[in-house]
Structure 1
Amino acid sequence: MHDTSNELNTEHQVRNQLRKKLRKQRVKRLITTFILLALIVFGLYVYTFYKENSRFPWARVKEQVSTVKEVEAKVYENVFSTTIDLSGFVEPIEIQKVILRAAGAVTDVFVKEGDQVQKGDVLIALDNTSQLYEVANLQAELERIKLTGSQRELELTELRLKSAMNRLDYTKAIANFDGVVAEVNVSVGDYFDAGSSAMTIIDRSRLKATVEIDEIDMQYVQLGQKAVLYFDSYSESSIEAEVSYIPMLGRYTNQGIGVMDVEITIANPPNSVAPGYTFEGAITSEGETKLILLPQSAVTTTRGTSTVTKKLADGSTVKVPVTVKYLGEGISQLLSGDLKVGDTVIIRRTDTSASAFAAIGGGTGGGPGMRAF
């Protein structure tokens, strides 16, 4: 029995030692896992910080230093012809939505889609029985009044007869111009209410388009000026158009630009160019224009007065009052001022960087050279 008790104690000790060993192994694994996770998180943080700031988190932030740099530029002349790009779609010069002005059943449709019509042609007729009866009745009454009635009765009856004849005319739809039937939405036997559209007539002898032209370019556009248009449906050559209408009022776009909706017209367009087709094209102003140009960044405007800094032959500088017109893309046109082609103007620029010390004199390179604009 004593031996059995010793065996149990030994087994119990072995089990306790095994549990302690397993517990230590679990603690080591947990610590290792936490260390690995911490290293991964730290590595991601360092990578993200470096990517956003171009430096490590423990690196000292370099103070930025600002310095003013003077850059020289030349006043120069440019000779060019103005080309204004166009795009849009064409539509008929005239469109008539044939509206029925009376209500009733359709008794006749005299044309079909594609037919040519002349101004004044009758296109559609409605049942006019009641209108004919009204006109005939008033004509008979007018004859009686001429014999036995008063002058006032005569005048009123004549007005009633004129109104009735107008209502009789309303039972017919008439073409307003020479053209072609583009659409028919009515058949014999249909019932139409007054004001309904039953047919569309277009004049394809000329096509028109409304193009948007920037306010800067409008100085080069005038009535009768030629435009060249290109259609995907007409690959043989370009098509000539003409500026036919310039409105008195411009408009303001959502982008803050003033524009004009100018109308151009194509005379005798080819059959392959149909209303609704799109085009690209241009208006080119005749002759060449000489402009004296300088960088807009050389111009300083204070209280409505513009000046530039002009470099003299002896190296000194002087402020010169000027009048300029901005043309876009950083370039201005010289309108007036004591400047000529070849003069040097000074552009003052602020350079802010961590290495601005080099621009002040700490670097090995020379000063800025002349820029070509």
Structure 2
Amino acid sequence: MMRIPARRVLPLLALGLVLAGCGSHDGSGGTESLPEVRASLVSVDSRPVTRMLEVSGMVQPRQQSALMGRSSGPVTAIHVSPGDRVAKGQLLLEIEKDMNEGMLHQAEGALAQAKAAFTLAEQNHQRFSRLFEKNACSQLELDAALMQRDQAAGAVTQASGAVASARSVSDETDVRAPFAGRVVDTMVEIGDLAAPGRPLVMLHSLEGNEFWITVPESEAGSLQRGTEVEVAIDSRPELGRLASSVKEVVPMADPATHSVSVRLSLPDDGLRPGITGKAWLPAGEHPSLRVPESAIYRSGGLALVCVVDAQGLARSRAVSLGDSHDGLVDVLAGLDAGQRVVAQLTQLIPEGTPIRESAE
């Protein structure tokens, strides 16, 4: 005799007990004595349903920047603290100017020497030009004077560039906000050595936030700018699902994870960068059977519907359910398209009960 695994016995017994409760009440096993029941019926239809992909993400500022100085030297003043709001162009931090001013003075001295050398070379070239007109010097001597003048002119150009660069670096001993924002972190203290490329202040813009997610490369093809999505914030359940849309799909996938980064819009609800949440994205359509949630009767962990067969008799069926949408629920297993079910199943209808469809 075939043995049924014990782990399958309990669900089968539970379903059997429920269906047994739907049987005849006259004790004879027949259906003749069962009174007719009037009920509204709905047809089980197959229709395309948008599959929703759930992914995790994080709130990020629309614009952020780790501000770095181009000059080297000790930090002499810090004018802001984390959490401060700053205006565009506001002074945030100062770097010692002496070292950079010394470099500027040195460059300016080199420029003065180059200009003096050019003046001398130009005078020498003019002198040889006059001598050449009087046949008092050779063409070779004139060409040499011209070459010396051109070299001196090149040295002036080079020295001028060095002065401009040194002046630019000297000006950047003052670190200013490139946009209006909030200071997230000051990454140095007074006395620390600033150097080109070293982050000094982290700044987030005040223009609002975005929600950043990563999706599998295979799912990114259905997303484009403007695609409508929903976002929920883990720490703010009272907000519910927020309407959002795709702002950008990064065109390059991560070769290690085969995923694509996506930026979503967020309403201005005072959300702080760094908090986490979830997003629901459309990921194509698939056929689905749907019935009203009111057609489902739950008992002992089972979801049941009352199917009306071809003879107009009630037949209870256990079903497997999926997602709910606007009062309808997806049926994954247990029903076939075209079947009719009782629309409002507030209690179990005995198995085999005649069902008359009501006009309502």
TM-score by length of 2: 0.50
TM-score by length of 1: 0.48
Larger CA Rg, structure 1 vs 2: 1
Identify which of structures 1 and 2 has the higher relative contact order when contacts are C-alpha pairs closer than 8 Å and 6+ apart.
2
